[in-house]
Amino acid sequence: MTGAEGGADLLLLVASIVGLGVVSQLLSARFRVPSVLFLIVSGVAIGPEGLGVLTIDSFGESGLSTIVGLSVAIIVFEGAFHLKIDKIKKAPTAVLRLTTIGAAIAFLGTAGAVRFFLGANWDIALLIGALLIATGPTVVTPILKVVPVRDRVAATLETEGIVNDVTAAILAVVLFKAMTVQETHADIYLQLFAERLGTGLLVGVVVAAVVWSVLQYVDLSPDNAPQNARLLTLAGAIVAFGSADYVFSEAGVAAAATAGLILGNAGLPYEEEIEAFKGDITLIVLSFVFITLAALLEFEQLFALGLGGVAVVVAVMFVLRPLLVFLTTRGGRFTFRETLFMSFVGPRGIIPASVATLFAIRLQTGVAEGGAPPTNPAGADLLVGTVFLVILVSVVLEGGLARQIAEKLDVIPMRVLIIGGGRVGRSLAERLEARGENVVLIEENRTVLEELRNDGFTAREGDGTDVEVLRESGVENAKTVVAATGDDDVNLLVAQLAKSNFDVENVIARANNPSNASAFEDLGVQTISAAESTAWAIDNQIERPALSNWMSELGRSGDVQEIEVTNEALVGQQIVDLGGELPNGVLIALVSRNGTSEVPNPDVELQYGDHITLIGRTEAVREAIEQCGKPV
């Protein structure tokens, strides 16, 4: 074959990989499952087990290693760029434990499972353990788009994915470098870690400082400034990786991560354009890495793992993941069902696949610093086979069944937006969250905001009368908006915006001055007069203290819920018959029909769309809701 023919074949192969990658991304968006699944299928189709057009020799021994290495740099840089300090502050305190203690449990537990079930050497076992720490945002975020869980649950899973991507990458490169030296004493590991991490940090800081300075102080030409900013930032990621890797092999990942973290939090000009551009580039290199993984993957590698491989998958997904989630989120503001859901959402993806691909290539071809160390093709097969198996099973099961799991566990709540994080808003949020609702507080006062966040509430900083603040806080997906500030003018404007701009189904406003109640009611807003509510509460305490005390404990020991009859099997049933089918400790207090509510007689027949008010023990009421219909 002539050089021209070889170049044409290579160009066609690259074009095919990019094309398959784009199609995979489109299918991912269409079916709302992680793109990793489609990328893997595409890779297998053109790899040795499929058409055989893509093999490890397609790009040459060093060419594929270099291409994948640069791809890893861009992927890690992208992940670190999105690791915003503000986002970490908004996430619950459990995130810190999840990304430290939880990561350590995942690392050591996975390494132990690989060692025990597959008989791997400790160096390979620890390397696999490090890689499988990562639960990246590109596999978690598509799941959360399909499953609208409470914000604190989503923030926890997304932040864990971003942080652990970087952690796994840096830890893995240090361990991999240790495999290439003959002596592996503790001081050697420490030296390797210090060299790689120190060099990465230094180069990353220098590159970030240069990029930031150029963007801030150099005239990039007004006409092409956004484009130049995008290209400069991308070049910074590649230069950071290449420079650090030249000094010490495998130090480039730490440099890319450092540069990305600094620049992502530096308030760069044209930041939105940079993020969009990097996102597109990352999708392309992601596609390339995952599809190229097929060049190393053979079904024999998976079959060779046997029952040991299955045992590793079970240990990672169903033992270690639940263990670390329950240990690190204990004492937080998560319900048991939410904790259980997070235990089932830990798919592996980008970093394990991309870095495993890079390392496997180097183990097979002997590409490393200072010449070729002893090759380890058996280790490469075990590395790729185990990582690929965990990725495939976790993405298919957790990505494909996440919606069904969430519905079964009942962790998809009604979204409630509360404007005002003072005593009223906070107290209301506590009650709603006790029932598992998805509550977001909007507060302008920074002192109050920090107190709310420190206590585990999902709170956004901003003015509740600002349309963009409301939109960013999720008002378009909110079923209820509550204006609970101490300023009636603010509450009135919030109610107006929620009704007219966003067509929110249920808007409730606090009227601090009783004379303003009519203004709210004219808007069709449900109005709670502070004075009348206080008088009502005092009257209840005087006339019916037992009921008043019980109502104050709603969401803890007891609950009152109004539901709509949507179960066809209940239509036509009499109250006396239905009452016998409800869980013990639940009573039907009211039946509402055509705007009229009354305590029902035993012979009242239910109609489709009736509203039933249930009263009883909290768990029993929830069981009755699942049995009868949906909450109003």
- Evaluated on CA atoms 584, 590, 591, 592, the torsion sign reads negative
Give the pLDDT mean for 275-294.
Answer: 74
The pLDDT value given to residue 326: 92
Confidence of residue 373 (pLDDT cuts 50, 70, 90): very low
What is the tens place of the pLDDT at every residue in 423-476? 888 988 888 877 767 888 999 998 888 888 888 788 888 898 998 888 888 888
Q: Which of 166-170, 221-225, 234-238 has the highest mean pLDDT?
A: 234-238
pLDDT > 60? residue 8: no
- Whether residue 372 is predicted with pLDDT greater than 50 in this model: the reply is no
Question: What's the confidence (pLDDT) of residue 298?
Answer: 72
Spatial CB neighbours of 595, under 8 Å, sequence gap ≥ 6: none
264 or 365: which carries more pLDDT confidence? 264
Q: Which of 92-101, 249-258, 334-343, 552-561 has the highest mean pLDDT?
A: 334-343
pLDDT digits (tens, 9 = 90+) for 502-550: 888 888 988 888 888 788 778 778 888 777 777 777 777 777 777 666 6
Q: Check residue 524 and give left, alpha or beta (phi > 0: left; psi -120 to 50: alpha).
A: left
Q: What is the mean pLDDT of residues 32-51?
A: 77
Q: For residues 25-44, give the mean pLDDT.
A: 76
pLDDT, one tens digit per residue, over 573-615 is 887 777 677 777 788 878 888 878 888 888 888 888 888 888 8
Distance CA 107, CA 130 (A): 5
Going by C-beta distance under 8 Å and a sequence separation of 6 or more, which residues neighbour residue 196? Answer: 170, 173, 174, 177, 248, 250, 251, 254
Residue in 462, 503, 466 with CA at minimum distance from that of residue 481: 503
Dump the DSSP string for 393-459: HHIIIIIHHHHHHHHHHT--PPEEEEE--SHHHHHHHHHHHHTT-EEEEEE--HHHHHHHHHTT--E
Global pTM? 0.68
Return the pLDDT at 6: 52
On average, the pLDDT of the chain sits at 80
- Please write down the HEC assignment for all residues of 556-603: CCEEEEEEEECCHHHCCCEHHHHHHHCCCCEEEEEEEECCEEECCCCC
Which tens digit of pLDDT belongs to each residue from 94-150? Answer: 788 888 899 999 999 999 999 999 988 888 899 899 989 988 776 787 777 777 787
Read off φ and ψ for residue 218, nearest 5 degrees. Answer: -105, 135
Mean pLDDT of 161-181: 77
Asked if pLDDT for residue 5 goes beyond 60, the answer is: no
- Count CA atoms within 13 Å of residue 63 on its CB side: 9
Interval 491-509: pLDDT, tens: 889 988 888 888 888 889 8
Q: Mean pLDDT throughout 225-254?
A: 85
Q: Do residues 213 and 33 touch, judged by C-beta distance below 8 A?
A: no
CA gap 343, 322 in Å, rounded: 4
Query: Is residue 1 over pLDDT 60?
Result: no
Rounded to whole angstroms, the Cα distance separating 375 from 630 reads 61
Kind of pairing between the strands at 629-631 and 586-593: unpaired
**Which residues 6+ apart lie within 8 Å of 410 measured at CB?**
337, 436, 622, 626
Tell whether the model's pLDDT for residue 381 goes beyond 70.
yes
Determine the pLDDT at residue 239: 93
Residue 625 CB coordination number (10 Å): 19
Distance, in Å, from the CA atom of 194 to the CA atom of 459, rounded to the nearest integer, reads 39
CA neighbours closer than 13 Å in the CB half-sphere of residue 321:
26
Helix spans in 147-224 (H): 151-179, 186-217
- Of residues 257 and 354, more confidence is placed in 257
Q: Which two tokens stand for residue 431?
A: 């009650």
322 vs 395: which has the higher pLDDT: 322
Half-sphere exposure of 169 (CA within 13 A, CB side): 38
What is the model's pLDDT at position 368? 45
Strand partners, 529: 511
Could you give the 3-state DSSP secondary structure of residue 546? helix
Cα torsion 495, 450, 551, 507 to 10°: value is: 10
Residue 155 structure tokens:
């923030």
Q: Which domains does the chain have, with CATH numbers?
A: 4-409 (1.20.1530.20), 415-533 (3.40.50.720), 556-629 (3.30.70.1450)
Cβ atoms of residues 123 and 112 within 8 Å: no
